[in-house]
């Protein structure tokens, strides 16, 4: 490879001029190895200004690509990189949700409608409540994936995070020996544009005891810093109120008016906030 001094010493000015900039064309006057060619030869004449513009354009493209890659690391990649989606549900979608009853069709329609509301700018929580095994997790995974892909296709990727609450709390507890780790998990849950919290309020055994002060504070802190959170739970509103303090229950209810689906055998699955509170 030639040094800068050798390039300068062996470059000559030609009589021809650049048709764009009007500058004299320059040419390296010795044979060199050209990438992709077998035999060395003299490079084609170039305009110094054209060559600089090409270099500047390439550098700009590299910077843009680097910024794009960094953006995707902070947004689009979050869902599959940092989430705790169950292995059997990683392929979950609206299309492969099995609908056999009117209630299941209503729940599917609700999940699709909520997803569209978020895409249209809605800010607030969504709550899916009902017994285990009715498809809440499947549909919320589908919501998360749809949001992630749609924002990417719009050229405006958002960070979407899906976590099982019990699992993330276990990770936080295990991280106590590494003080910075707890703040890492807290920041991750607070900063995601869309957070999906699966299995809120799962009880240990059948005790129904209130949550620890630490867990209360952790959940309250996360929800206090969020605008868009989708929550699934198998607890009734009364059980949530008994399990958590009123300030946590209040955070859970943020923006829930018309954004609640209760999996029970009733005709209208969209509860108003007042109906939800009356269950208590």
| The most confident of 13-17, 141-145, 239-243, by mean pLDDT | 141-145
pLDDT digits (tens, 9 = 90+) for 102-128: 889 999 999 999 999 999 999 999 999
Structural domains of the chain in order of their starting residue, each with its CATH number = 4-72 (no CATH), 77-278 (3.40.50.300)
pLDDT digits (tens, 9 = 90+) for 62-72: 767 766 566 66
Q: What is the CA radius of gyration of the chain?
A: 29
Weakest mean pLDDT among 64-73, 182-191, 267-276 = 267-276
Instruction: Please report which confidence band the pLDDT of residue 138 belongs to, taking 50, 70 and 90 as the band edges.
Output: very high
Mean pLDDT value of segment 191-196: 95
Which class for 59: exposed (0-12), middle (13-18), buried (19 or more C-beta within 10 A)?
A: exposed
pLDDT (0 to 100) of residue 208: 47
**What is the percent of the chain with per-residue pLDDT over 70, rounded to a whole number?**
84
CA 54 – CA 39 distance, rounded (Å)? 25
pTM above 0.75, yes or no: no
pLDDT digits (tens, 9 = 90+) for 208-217: 455 678 888 8
pLDDT digits (tens, 9 = 90+) for 141-151: 999 999 999 99
**What is the percent of the chain with per-residue pLDDT over 90, rounded to a whole number?**
34
Count other C-beta atoms under 10 Å from residue 73's C-beta: 12
Instruction: Please report which confidence band the pLDDT of residue 276 belongs to, taking 50, 70 and 90 as the band edges.
Output: low
């Amino acid at each position: 490879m030639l040094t800068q001094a050798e390039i300068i010493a062996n470059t000559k000015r030609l009589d021809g001029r650049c048709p764009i900039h009007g500058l004299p064309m320059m040419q390296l006057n010795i044979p060199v190895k050209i990438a992709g060619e077998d035999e060395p030869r003299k490079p084609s004449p170039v305009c110094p200004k054209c060559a600089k513009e090409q270099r500047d354009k390439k550098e700009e493209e590299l910077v843009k690509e680097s910024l794009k890659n960094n953006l995707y690391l902070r947004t689009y990649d979050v869902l599959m990189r940092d989430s705790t989606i169950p292995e059997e549900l990683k392929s979950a979608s609206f299309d492969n949700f099995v609908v056999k009853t009117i209630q299941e069709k209503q729940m599917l329609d609700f999940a699709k409608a909520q997803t569209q509301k978020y895409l249209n700018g809605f800010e607030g929580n969504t709550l899916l409540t009902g017994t285990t095994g009715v498809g809440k997790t499947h549909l919320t995974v589908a919501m998360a994936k749809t949001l992630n892909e749609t924002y990417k296709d719009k050229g405006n990727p958002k960070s979407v995070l899906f976590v099982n609450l019990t699992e993330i709390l276990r990770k936080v507890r295990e991280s106590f020996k590494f003080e910075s780790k707890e703040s890492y998990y807290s920041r991750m849950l607070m900063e995601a544009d869309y957070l999906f919290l699966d299995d809120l309020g799962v009880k240990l055994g059948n005790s129904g005891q209130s949550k620890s002060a630490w867990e209360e504070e952790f959940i309250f802190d996360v929800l206090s810093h969020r605008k868009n959170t989708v929550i699934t739970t198998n607890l009734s509103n009364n059980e949530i109120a008994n399990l958590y303090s009123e300030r946590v229950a209040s955070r859970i209810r943020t923006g829930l008016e018309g954004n609640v689906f209760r999996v029970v055998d009733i005709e209208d699955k969209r509860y108003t906030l007042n109906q939800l509170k009356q269950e208590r």
